[in-house]
Every structure is written in structure tokens, then in C-alpha cells.
A and B are shown apart, each in its own frame.
Chain A
Amino acid sequence: DTGVSQNPRHKITKRGQNVTFRCDPISEHNRLYWYRQTLGQGPEFLTYFQNEAQLEKSRLLSDRFSAERPKGSFSTLEIQRTEQGDSAMYLCASSLNGDSPLHFGNGTRLTVT
């Protein structure tokens, strides 16, 4: 299966700790997106990359959040000093280009206690 892969699937952390998630997109997909989904809501856009360039960041992405895609392949999303409100499903998606549908991974579920 060469779909979008996200690790870990689940993460439980204590408030104040830092966490990092990884996303491996579909090979040759230039675009990579991060979304966040909370209970009863649709996925909310966080940020996206065109190759290694981060082109847009949502205002939802506070300064505690940072995303990288250093070589234009995999991406990491780090949350520093986690808060309980950060508890959500973090979804990664990739697409071949801006006109192509997004292919999502199965997400990383973060629980902050």
C-alpha cells in the first residue's frame, strides 16, 4: 500500500510536553497538507507545503505549532507545550498538484491529559 502514512496512530501526553508527528506522503506528490479534526467537526486546515516550501499557515496554527518538510518528502508537525485543547485527530494529506484531490492518511489521535 503506497498511501499516505502517519505515525504514530495514537499519542497520549501530559500537558506541557512536546510532541512530534510524522507524515509520509504518496511518492511524487508535491503538495502536503496538515489538517486537524475535533469531535463533531470537519477537518480544519492548518498548513500546506509545495515541495519543501510552506506556502500557507492557518491562524489556527499558533506559535506553539511548527511544521517542516525538509527535503520535500516526509513532513513533521511539532506541538510545543501541549494544552488540553490540542487534543484532536491530526490528519495529513498529499496531492500531486493543486488541481488534484487530496489523499488522506489515517491520522494521529492526540490526547493531552
Chain B
Amino acid sequence: DQQVKQNSPSLSVQEGRISILNCDYTNSMFDYFLWYKKYPAEGPTFLISISSIKDKNEDGRFTVFLNKSAKHLSLHIVPSQPGDSAVYFCAPLSATNKLIFGTGTLLAVQP
């Protein structure tokens, strides 16, 4: 069963505009969520996280929003830059401290 869903396999935005990547999950016990970015031929790198006690966490151009009642989170990147082009994974932390990854969204930022 797919506990973490990223329903948009790909997203294309213009440089300078906002990128919004979405993630839905099914397990209401998840209480810590991470976003990872992955470039080709490299491992995923940690980007930003949010705890369930918050509904928003901001780090520079990156903001993550959490809606626990809807079991939904989103990552906003503004302004988007060509170097942001990568695959983005949503990854809640399970009760046994392992990351459960979504299928990823390929973001392409057009110059």
C-alpha cells in the first residue's frame, strides 16, 4: 500500500515564479515530515522538515506547509531557480524512525 503519494510526477515552472509540490499521506500517526531533493546520479539530500506541532516551516526560499486534518503537505519554492531542477521527495518519519518516501516529483525550472 502506498502510504505517501506525490500525485504529480512532474512540474514545470518559469524561473522566478513559485513552485508548489504536493504530498498526501494516509497514516495519521506520522508526526515528522522531511523533504529531500535528488539530482541525477546523486543520493537524496535533506532540504527542509516540519513537525506536526507546526503548520509551517520556512527556510530561505523554501517553505513547507502541513495540514494534518487533510493529511497533506506542500513545499513552496519562491523564487524558483534553474538550479532547483531536481526530483523532490516527501518523506514522513515512521514510528520506528525510518523514512517512508513518496514517488517523487520532477521539477523543471525553465530559464
Listed in ascending order, the chain A residues whose CB lies under 8 Å from chain B are 4, 31, 33, 35, 40-45, 48, 55-56, 91, 93, 98-99, 101-107
Given A41-B103, A101-B49, check contact A56 B43 (CB 8 Å): no
- The answer to whether B44 and A104 touch across the interface, beta carbons within 8 angstroms, is yes
**Is the pair A45, B99 in contact by a Cβ cutoff of 8 Å?**
yes
A102 to B101 alpha-carbon distance, docked (Å): 12
**Contact residue among A4, A43, A106 (Cβ-Cβ distance under 8 Å from B101):** A43
Task: Flag if B43 contacts A105 (CB, 8 Å).
Answer: yes
Chain B residues with Cβ below 8 Å from A98 are: 97
CA distance A33 to B43 in the complex (A): 13
A7 CB → nearest B CB, Å: 13
In the bound complex, residues from chain B placing their C-beta under 8 Å from that of A44 are 101
* With known contacts A104-B44, A104-B45, A106-B43, A43–B96 Cβ distance under 8 A: no
- Interchain nearest-CB distance for B41 vs A (Å): 7
Q: Give the residues from 1 to 54 in chain B that come closer than 8 angstroms, CB to CB, to chain A.
A: 4, 9, 34, 36, 41-46, 49
- Interchain CB contact under 8 A, B96 and A56: yes
